[in-house]
Amino acid sequence: MKLYRYLHDGRVLESSEVPAGAKLVAPVTPTKIVCVGRNYAEHAKELGNEAPSEPLLFLKPPSAILDPDGTIVRPPVSQSVQHEGELAIVVGKEAKNVKADNWRNYVLGFACANDVTARDLQKKDVQFTRGKGFDTFCPIGPCIETELDVSSLRVQVRVNGETRQNGSTSQMIFSCAFLVEYISAIMTLMPGDVILTGTPSGVGPLNAGDTVEVEVEGIGVLRNVVA
Ligand code: ZN
């Protein structure tokens, strides 16, 4: 089932169907966004990095969340804002020390996300907080799909209709099951928390006026414009 959130007469409603003309909003309100870096070997390579032997984790602030169709704002301090299309896991139940074979019981469903990154600042700072943390740097949506086998799904990014990233979740170094066990052994995951599972190769620039689309097979298309 697909769960949407939308605005109707100034109120936020949730439903599996959206009335015509309603404005979609981000389908989650996380307490934290846990991200996995370099989870696709080809992407690690394109940025000159080794594939990691353990998941490389970082956080994005909840204030970075952006609605479907919302505008990604490039901060003046960066010369290199890039897209990273990713499968997002949405936590459904408080989760601590979850075992991998039980991971699905703690997950509400899955969404498309864009781990927007100021690549120059990420490299300059070493820590990822600034480069990944600007407002509007976490578009997510268009819905949460609650029934999906995520072991082999196409993950694509298009910019102005041109395909930039085209991978499969089957290429992930660490599976969703592994990640839920690994992360929940570190921090308690709360309902609505989001895990971004890493991006396939093909990351590239976002410029003013671009339209960027992240499509994950079985979920839908997350579309945003860039300013
Ligand atoms: Zn990423």
In order of start, what are the domains of the chain with their CATH numbers? 28-226 (3.90.850.10)
Q: Which residue type is seen at 47?
A: L
Confidence of residue 20 (pLDDT cuts 50, 70, 90): confident
Are 204 and 82 contacting, i.e. CB atoms less than 8 angstroms apart?
Answer: yes
What percent of the chain lies above the pLDDT cut of 70? Answer: 100
Question: Cis (ω within 30 of 0) for the bond into 142?
Answer: yes
Nearest-CA neighbor of 117 among 81, 151, 65? 81
Distance 197 CA to ligand 1 centre (A): 7
Tell me what pLDDT residue 166 has: 97
pLDDT at 145 over 90: yes
Confidence of residue 9 (pLDDT cuts 50, 70, 90): confident
Using the CB atoms, write b or e for 183-200: b if 16+ within 10 Å. Answer: bbeeeebebbbbbbbbbb
Are 137 and 113 contacting, i.e. CB atoms less than 8 angstroms apart?
Answer: no
Distance 24 CA to ligand 1 centre (A): 23
pTM above 0.95, yes or no: yes
Distance 121 CA to ligand 1 centre (A): 14
Tell me what pLDDT residue 21 has: 85
Q: Which protein residues have a CB closer than 5 Å to ligand 1 (ion)?
A: 84, 115, 199
Residue-wise pLDDT for 192-227, tens only, equals 999 999 999 999 999 999 999 999 999 999 999 999
Confidence of residue 64 (pLDDT cuts 50, 70, 90): very high
- Residue 210, CA distances (Å) to 41, 101, 168 in order: 27, 41, 24
